[in-house]
Structure 1
């Protein structure tokens, strides 16, 4: 199924440009155009689905994970991360399911290289 408004569906259909790394019937791999890390790949199912649907599909997530792991070992011998973002608070920016492979540089303990600052609880007594 294709969602005509979905950027990743358009990339899968080759209606939007991408630097393709790998193509299979059920998923494709292309470079993320954000370039935050030397290696930043997106592994995307060819069928439009949510993150939850992808992670509940044991066969597909296993296939994508195995490819990501094999590629990470090859492209990032010093280490890499395989991750997915879920929902608004998880910083998911695309509705189409996808997995990130990032590496090629020291990624730090957390995504920004340092632990997040502890936030103070909201104080509604000042209103």
Structure 2
């Protein structure tokens, strides 16, 4: 199931439930603006999801409605997760899907952080 990133925020989504503590996660990082946790179906040796704590459907929604503090805090959280995991030197990939064509599955903005092996080309040609 893909998400229409233009739809209103649905607070019944799995990430909203994780933020409320209704569903457990394997937390990597948390601050006032973001939560990072291991993906339950990892696509690389290191696969962490970083989500803002605010109710944002997509990157577009976040960039239009997020406060300066929320945006800066979220971006800094993504960088902190990568640095704390010592991923800067070997490298890592960030992926944020938005909408049906990108196959966004959860209607809450999230960034996938992939690492732990050479990841190959970004898209299959």
For residues 50-65 of structure 1, the aligned pairs below 5 Å read: 50-51=57-58, 52-56=60-64, 57=66, 58-65=68-75
Match of 1:123 in 2: none
Supply the RMSD in Å over aligned alpha carbons.
2.0
- Greater relative contact order (CA < 8 Å, ≥ 6 in sequence): 2
Distance 1:93 1:104, change over 3 A: same
Distance 1:55 1:38 in 2: 30
Match of 1:108 in 2: 120
Q: CA contact under 8 A between 2:33 and 2:73: conserved in structure 1?
A: no
Match of 1:87 in 2: 99
Aligned length, in residue pairs: 112
For residues 110-125 of structure 1, the aligned pairs below 5 Å read: 110-111=122-123, 115-116=124-125
User: How far off is 1:3 after superposition?
Assistant: 4.5
TM-score (norm 2): 0.77
Name structure 2 gaps, 5 residues minimum: 1-8
Q: Which runs of 4+ in 1 moved over 6 A?
A: none
Match of 1:122 in 2: none
Q: CA contact under 8 A between 2:36 and 2:81: conserved in structure 1?
A: no
Name structure 1 gaps, 5 residues minimum: 117-127
Larger Rg over CA atoms: 1
TM-score (norm 1): 0.76
User: How far off is 1:38 after superposition?
Assistant: 1.2
User: How far off is 1:85 after superposition?
Assistant: 0.3
Distance 2:69 2:94 in 1: 17
